[in-house]
């Protein structure tokens, strides 16, 4: 379904924690006829495991009451039996406040709006970008400052509902990983650069498989998704696919970090064993 603003409306409302921490602003969801889903969100009493910018660490957040404001459903309407056509169209909004269990001065706020039998998150603090950015900091060294900045921009754009723009930056990072392997492969005297240049990306990835992280080779279609997203998909569709593509790139980077750490440790052990062996032989 397409909203009056031209944005695609989803029919499955996310679970509260997913709605708070991973759902873009202004993304609309159709409310079911049964009012329990909306009431469940309004009266959320669970806990949320998230990064706390105040603590600069992960923490558990709990609901703080009272924090909701909004326009209640008129009393003459039966909330559980009213059809979507007969549901009141009055706009309403409510705020959910979460408090860090480490420090009650550290709080999160999420503002939701109900309109025309749809619900969307229209504001939050800290922003999605602030809550997510800490998790990508470890990739700065592997990516370098320029491409780390692109990853941060992708996260920030997606948090504000700019799905296509976020895909542009993710594709640049993906291409950078391919080019890094390409430069390494070029060191081989038998490398045929002209043949490589004429191949589509899927074939290039196959040819570079010995130089690329296994996760990238096995999930080469991420590039197809990114390219289709940039040229053919809507902002909403890119936003829906963003998290899985970002996690795929993070998994590739994790593999690269693990390999670098393993090589560093292997080199240190080899050098130390040689040093100790040489010392023992002199004794």
pLDDT-based confidence at 9, cuts 50/70/90? low
Contact 25, 7 (CB under 8 A): no
| pLDDT one-digit tens code per residue, 79-92 | 444 444 444 445 78
What's the pLDDT at 95?
93
Strand partners, 28: 120
- The rounded distance, in Å, linking the Cα atoms of 59 and 99 is 10
**Are 44 and 97 a contacting pair, CB within 8 Å?**
no
Spatial CB neighbours of 231, under 8 Å, sequence gap ≥ 6: none
Residue finishing a domain among 126, 147, 171: 126
Q: Is the pLDDT of residue 102 over 80?
A: yes
Pairwise CA distance, residues 122 & 94, whole Å:
10
In this structure, are residues 114 and 31 in contact, taking their beta carbons and an 8 Å threshold? Answer: yes
Domain extent at residue 103? 16-126
Taking only the tens place, the pLDDT of each residue in 253-278 is 999 999 999 999 999 999 999 999 98
Asked whether residue 7 is assigned to any structural domain, the reply reads: no
Segment 222-249 mean pLDDT? 92
Give residue-wise pLDDT tens across range 123-169.
999 988 788 777 888 899 999 999 999 999 998 888 778 889 999 99
- Domains contained in the chain, number: 2
Residues 151 and 105 both lie in one domain: no
pLDDT of residue 180: 92
- For residue 35, is pLDDT > 80? no
State whether 264 and 168 are in the same domain.
Answer: yes
Q: Is residue 279, in this structure, part of any structural domain at all? A: no
The β-bridge partners of 47 are 62
Q: 166 and 101, same structural domain?
A: no
Is 157 found in the same domain as 234? Answer: yes
Q: What is the pLDDT of residue 195?
A: 93
The most distant pair of C-alpha atoms in the chain lies apart, rounded to whole Å, by 96
């Amino acid at each position: 379904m397409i909203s009056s603003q031209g944005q695609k409306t989803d029919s499955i409302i996310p679970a509260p924690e997913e709605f708070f921490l991973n759902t873009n602003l202004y993304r609309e969801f159709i409310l079911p006829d049964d009012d329990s889903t909306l009431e469940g969100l309004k009266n959320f009493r669970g806990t949320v495991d998230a990064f706390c910018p105040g603590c600069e660490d992960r923490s558990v957040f709990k609901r703080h009451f009272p924090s909701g404001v909004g326009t209640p459903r008129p009393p003459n309407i039966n909330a559980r039996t009213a059809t979507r056509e007969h549901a009141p169209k009055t706009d309403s909004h409510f705020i959910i406040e979460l408090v860090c269990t480490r420090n009650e001065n550290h709080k999160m706020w999420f503002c939701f709006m109900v309109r025309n039998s749809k619900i969307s998150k229209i504001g939050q603090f800290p922003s999605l970008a602030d809550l997510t950015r800490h998790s990508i900091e470890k990739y700065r060294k592997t990516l370098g400052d320029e491409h780390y900045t692109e990853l941060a921009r992708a996260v920030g754009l997606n948090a504000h509902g700019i799905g296509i723009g976020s895909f542009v930056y993710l594709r640049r990072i993906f291409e950078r990983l391919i080019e890094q392997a390409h430069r390494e492969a070029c060191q081989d005297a038998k490398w045929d650069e002209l043949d490589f240049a004429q191949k589509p990306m899927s074939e290039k990835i196959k040819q570079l498989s010995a130089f690329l992280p296994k996760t990238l080779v096995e999930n080469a279609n991420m590039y197809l998704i990114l390219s289709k997203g940039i040229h053919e998909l809507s902002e909403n569709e890119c936003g829906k696919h963003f998290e899985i593509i970002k996690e795929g790139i993070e998994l590739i980077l994790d593999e690269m970090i693990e390999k670098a750490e393993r090589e560093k440790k292997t080199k240190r052990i080899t050098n130390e064993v040689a040093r100790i062996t040489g010392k023992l032989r002199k004794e």
